Structure 1
C-alpha cells in the first residue's frame, strides 16, 4: 500500500505547475502536422513505450538519445543497445546505440532509421498500380554526453538528420538538451528535455520545421515489500505544432522480471500499452505492445523489441 506524505505531494505539484507554465510559451509555433521528421518525437525505447511513453525522468536503457540525453547518466556500464519497432502496415524503425563509461565522462553514439514503407505513386487513385510506388525514410546519427552537478545530471545530444521522400531529400542538424534532478523527496526524480531544436534544408523548394518537442516528467520509486519494487511515472509533452499529451505508467519489478503498463492521455490515436522486461546477467530484454484507437491503426499490432548487452 502506498502512503503519500503531504510534503511529497506539494513538491510534485510545484514541479508539474512549473512545467505547465513553461509549455504554453513554446507550443503552437506551427500548424498541426506541419513539421518534418515526426519519427524524432517517438521514443526508441520498448520500456518507455510500454509505460505509455512516460519516462523523461527515468531513462534506463540505451534509448536516452531519443528521450532525454541526461538519461545516459543511468547507464552503469559500457552498453550496446538494439531496438526493433514494428509499426502498422509496413512501417518499421531500427535503433542502435553504443555507450562508453569513463571515470568522469559518459559518451554515447546512436543511429536511428525509420522506414515509412512503400506508398502508391498516384494522382487521383485512378492510376493506382502496385508496382508503381515510392519509398520514404527518416534517419539520424546522434552523439550524446553529460555532466553531473550535485543532484543534477545535464546532457546534450547533437544530431545529423536526413529525410528522403521519393526523389527528394533534405538534410539538417539538431540539438537536444536535457536534465534530471534527484529531488529532496526520497524516491522522487524530475526530468525535462528540449528535443530536436535545429535546422533542415529545403525539400522541393519548401522548408519545413523540425518536430521539436518539450518533454518533462517525474518518477516516484517505492518498494511494495521486500521482494517487489514499484515506480509511478507521469510526463507532459508539448510539441511545436501544438500537440499536448500526458503519458502515465506503472512498473513493478520482482527480481529480474519487470511488468509495465501505461496510458497516453490526450493522444489522438494511442490508448493503453503493456510490456515486460527481463534482466539475465549482462543481457536486458524488453517487449511492448500498444493498442491504438483510430481506424487506420486499429487492425495492426504494433510491437517493440529491445536488447541491451552490457560489455
Structure 2
C-alpha cells in the first residue's frame, strides 16, 4: 500500500509541477490580475506564525484552508474561529468545523466573510458626496471531503461558493481546493500538495453598473440615454503549494516541527515559506519567514507567535493561538485564533 501511495503522490507532484510551469509561463508578472483576494488572507494564527509553511503540516482545523487532505488525520472533531482586524478597518472572519465519520473519512464546512465600512457615494455632479453610502463585502462557503486511502496517505477536496458585492453589483462563482498529504515513513517526514481556488473567472454585474446619461446638448433628442457598464472578468487567486515537514522529538513532553513550502501564485509568481514550532507540554513558540514577494506591504519577512492548549477533559481541548506578522509600509497585523477539539 505504501508503494501505491507513493505512486499516487508522484503523479500528483508531476501534475503540480506541470500546472505550475504552465501558470508561470503564461504570466511573468501577474500582480493585480486576480480578484476575490479575501481568499488569500491566511487562516490560522499557528500557520501564519510559521510563515504560511503549512501545506505539509495541516494537522488542525485550519487544514480546511491550507490542505483539505489534512482533515482526515484529525483524531477528534474540531472547530476553528479566526478573526482579523485587517487594514483600513476591514474585518475578516473565518469559521470552520470538521467531523470524523469513520473509516478514515472526515467531512467539513467553512465560512469566510469580509466586510468594510460604508463609503460615501460621489458623482461627477456631486463630487463632495450625495448623502448616500455604499457597502462592500465578500464571502465564501465551503464543503470538504477528506479520506485516508492508507494509514499514511490522504486526499481531500473542498467545493466552495464565492461571492463579492460592491453596492448593487455582484460577482459569484464556484471554486475548488485539492490536497494530498503523505507521511513517507522515514525520519518523520511528511509531504503535502495543494491547489487552492481552482475555478473559472468571475465578473461583476448588477444595477450599480446601469444608468442614464442626460443628453442636454444633443440637438435631435433630449431623451436620456440608457447605458450599462461592461466589466472585465478576473481570476480567482489560484495558489499551488508543495511542502515538506519534519517532526523532531526531544522527549515525551517536547518536540519541534520544521516546515518549508514553495508556492506558485497566478497573481504573485513563485514565493517561498519556512517555519518552525517548538512545543513543550501545552505551550508552543513559533517563527516563520516568507520570501519571493514584492517589497510593498505584501507580507514578506518574519512572523512569530505562540499557542497554549487548555485541556477541558480527557477528550476535549481549547487551543488559543497568536501570531504577529509585519507587512512593511502597511504596518503589522495581530491575529488570534481559537480552536476546540471534541
Same structural fold, with TM-score higher than 0.5 when normalized by the shorter chain: yes
Contact 2:278 2:284 in 1 (8 A): yes
Is 1:306 aligned to residue 337 of structure 2? yes
**Distance (Å, rounded) in 2 between the aligned partners of 1:131 and 1:109:** 40
If you compute each CA radius of gyration, which structure gives the higher value, 1 or 2?
2
Q: Give the match's secondary structure for 1:89.
A: helix
TM-score by length of 2: 0.78
Give the match for residue 261 of structure 2.
235
**Distance (Å, rounded) in 2 between the aligned partners of 1:133 and 1:49:** 34
Give the match for residue 318 of structure 2.
283
Residue deviations 1:249-293 (CA, integer Å, cap 9, x gap): 110000000101111112232221111111111111111111111
| Structure 1: gaps (5+ residues) | 1-13
Task: Tell me the CA shift for residue 167 of structure 1.
Answer: 2.1
Task: Tell me the CA shift for residue 224 of structure 1.
Answer: 3.4
Distance verdict in 2 for CA 1:167–1:29, change over 3 Å = farther
**Distance (Å, rounded) in 2 between the aligned partners of 1:145 and 1:285:** 26
Give the match for residue 202 of structure 1.
203
Task: Tell me the CA shift for residue 118 of structure 1.
Answer: 4.2
Q: Give the match's secondary structure for 2:309.
A: strand
Correspondences of 1:139-150 after superposition (within 5 Å) = 139-150=139-150
Residue deviations 1:146-202 (CA, integer Å, cap 9, x gap): 121223110000001101122211111011110011113221101011111113542
Task: Tell me the CA shift for residue 66 of structure 1.
Answer: 1.7
Give the match for residue 24 of structure 1.
21
Distance verdict in 2 for CA 1:24–1:200, change over 3 Å = closer
Contact 1:85 1:303 in 2 (8 A): yes
Number of matched residues? 292
**Distance (Å, rounded) in 2 between the aligned partners of 1:129 and 1:50:** 42
Give the match for residue 159 of structure 2.
158
The correspondence for 2:281, drawn from 255, 278, 284, is: 255
**Distance (Å, rounded) in 1 between the aligned partners of 2:336 and 2:107:** 24
**Distance (Å, rounded) in 1 between the aligned partners of 2:123 and 2:239:** 33
Distance verdict in 2 for CA 1:87–1:145, change over 3 Å = same
Distance verdict in 2 for CA 1:163–1:236, change over 3 Å = same
Q: Which moved more, 1:150-159 or 1:17-26?
A: 17-26
Residue deviations 1:105-140 (CA, integer Å, cap 9, x gap): 21101111122444554579x935697653222200
Contact 2:121 2:131 in 1 (8 A): no
| Structure 2: gaps (5+ residues) | 1-9, 206-229, 312-316
**Distance (Å, rounded) in 2 between the aligned partners of 1:220 and 1:302:** 28
Correspondences of 1:61-80 after superposition (within 5 Å) = 61-80=60-79
Contact 1:249 1:260 in 2 (8 A): yes
Distance verdict in 2 for CA 1:243–1:116, change over 3 Å = farther
Contact 1:120 1:130 in 2 (8 A): yes
Task: Tell me the CA shift for residue 62 of structure 1.
Answer: 1.6
**Distance (Å, rounded) in 2 between the aligned partners of 1:236 and 1:123:** 45
Contact 1:99 1:107 in 2 (8 A): yes
Distance verdict in 2 for CA 1:187–1:142, change over 3 Å = same
Give the match for residue 190 of structure 2.
189
Is 1:246 aligned to residue 272 of structure 2? yes
Contact 1:41 1:66 in 2 (8 A): no
Correspondences of 1:22-101 after superposition (within 5 Å) = 23-27=20-24, 29=26, 31-101=30-100
